[in-house]
Amino acid sequence: MRSWFPDREFFMRSEGQVRFITISSRVQITAAAIAVAVLVVWALSMAVAGWTQYRATADRLSLLDREAKVATATERVNAYRDDIDAVATDLVKRQEFIESMMDVMPDDVKSIENVSDSSGEAAATVDKVSLAIPEAATLAKIEARQLAFVEGLTRYADWRSQRASAALKKLGLNPDSMIRNADRSAMGGPLEKLSTDADGGIDPRFERLGLSIARMDALERGLAGVPQVAPAKVEMVTSSYGYRRDPFTGAGAMHKGLDFRGPVGAPIFAAAKGRVSFVGRRSGYGNVVEISHGNGLMTRYAHMSKFAAKVGQSVEAGQTIGAIGSTGRSTGPHLHFEVRINNRAVNPRTFLETAPNVLEEIRRAPHLASTK
């Protein structure tokens, strides 16, 4: 190893003087090892990201392929002809699936109406079944309504996902990482597998609906957790995010938040929906409340004079969580407010100034035209 990295000597000429610098074999080997380690970590992270993307694409293509195989009118006519009682049982199972999905959907998603079958396949199935097996016409119509509803709801959920994804990108956040974080979040409980047929299988069109709703839910929950409400009703920000002269030492220092000056006892508000993860004292911060908003997002409120929140408590954006004070390393009553992503401080001003406009655009956006 030392033969690859022999001691090396360099010289530098400055103002008529020559200086010799020796870089030992040990220093070179250490630097090379660090470079290799960094390269290996980078390669592994890229490989993991690539595999995740490949699996997501492969799973979606497999789902679409299975969907194409069951979506033809001829296939359904054959199913009705083979065993009409089995088809009736499947329709009951499908209805149970739809009702299970409806139980977990937001109220505004449940309220969409007049969805239609854009492919026309469901209508074609009704016609063919009615001609080939007249006694099954009623069941075919029920199935057509189910499929039209599932297709319309899937498209609506996909549209809302795209809308939330675009909003998150405007705020400088990665929608894909939010979906991955949602997939890895703590969860559990007994397995209660949903199915759409008597054999315990699931129609891929219904499976796609479930996946679309899960994606929509992850992205919209992530958007709801974005800091969007000013944490204090005070006009003056006395210190911004970034480098500043430290008020105690006078030396340059990094300030990782915003300081809102206000009177002792003035209310402090949660900047976004979340769950209180810490209430207590931290060195330099004094009395602190921290709120976890999911997907690695956390807000910190420091120098409080009193608390109005407890660990584990769910809070809404704008809810009072404490009062301004001057505890900790503070020169006077103010709120020190931080936003952290995966425990890395970022500029809160970006969210507080941009998020309200982005969310207002979403509220004004019309429903997806193709669901009408």
pLDDT at site 104: 61
Q: What is the mean pLDDT of residues 168-185?
A: 75
Question: How wide is the angle at C-alpha 180 spanned by C-alphas 174 and 184, nearest 5°?
Answer: 140
pLDDT at site 112: 54
Pairing outcome for strands 237-239 and 297-302: unpaired
6-10, 112-116, 303-307, 329-333: the lowest-pLDDT one: 112-116
For the chain, what is the mean pLDDT?
76
More confidently predicted of 338 and 358: 338
C-alpha to C-alpha distance for 297 and 271, rounded to whole angstroms: 12
Residue 306's nearest CA partner among 331, 284, 333 is 333
Q: What is the mean pLDDT of residues 157-182?
A: 84
pLDDT digits (tens, 9 = 90+) for 277-325: 999 999 999 999 999 998 889 999 999 999 999 999 999 999 999 999 9
Question: How many helices (DSSP H) and strands (DSSP E) are in the chain?
Answer: 9, 15
Residue 271's nearest CA partner among 235, 310, 227, 241 is 227
Highest mean pLDDT: which range of 19-33, 37-51, 304-318? 304-318
The sign of the dihedral angle between the CA atoms of 232, 238, 243, 248 is negative
pLDDT at site 187: 46
Residue 291's nearest CA partner among 266, 310, 264, 267 is 310
Tokens of 252: 């340059």
C-alpha to C-alpha distance for 257 and 347, rounded to whole angstroms: 7
pLDDT at site 131: 64
Query: Would you say residue 105 has pLDDT above 80?
Result: no
83-91: long-range contacts, CB 8 A cutoff, minimum separation 24:
84/133, 84/135, 84/136, 84/139, 86/197, 86/198, 87/136, 87/139, 87/143, 88/139, 89/197, 89/198, 90/196, 90/197, 90/198, 91/139, 91/142, 91/143, 91/146
Highest mean pLDDT: which range of 46-50, 100-104, 291-295, 362-366? 291-295
pLDDT at site 73: 56
Q: At what angle do helices 348-364 and 137-170 cross, to 10 degrees?
A: 150
Q: How many Cβ atoms sit within 10 Å of the Cβ of residue 175?
A: 21
Q: What is the mean pLDDT of residues 352-358?
A: 86
pLDDT at site 321: 97
Q: At what angle do helices 137-170 and 73-82 cross, to 10 degrees?
A: 140
Q: At what angle do helices 175-184 and 137-170 cross, to 10 degrees?
A: 120
pLDDT at site 94: 77
C-alpha to C-alpha distance for 184 and 178, rounded to whole angstroms: 10
pLDDT confidence band for 188 (50 / 70 / 90): very low
Beta bridge partners of 299: 291, 339
- The full DSSP string for 158-201 is HHHHHHHHHHHHHTT--HHHHHHHHHHS----------SSTTS-
First to last CA, the chain: 71
pLDDT digits (tens, 9 = 90+) for 190-243: 434 555 555 666 777 778 888 888 888 888 888 888 998 999 987 678 888 888
C-alpha to C-alpha distance for 291 and 274, rounded to whole angstroms: 6
pTM here is 0.62
pLDDT at site 114: 47
pLDDT at site 191: 39
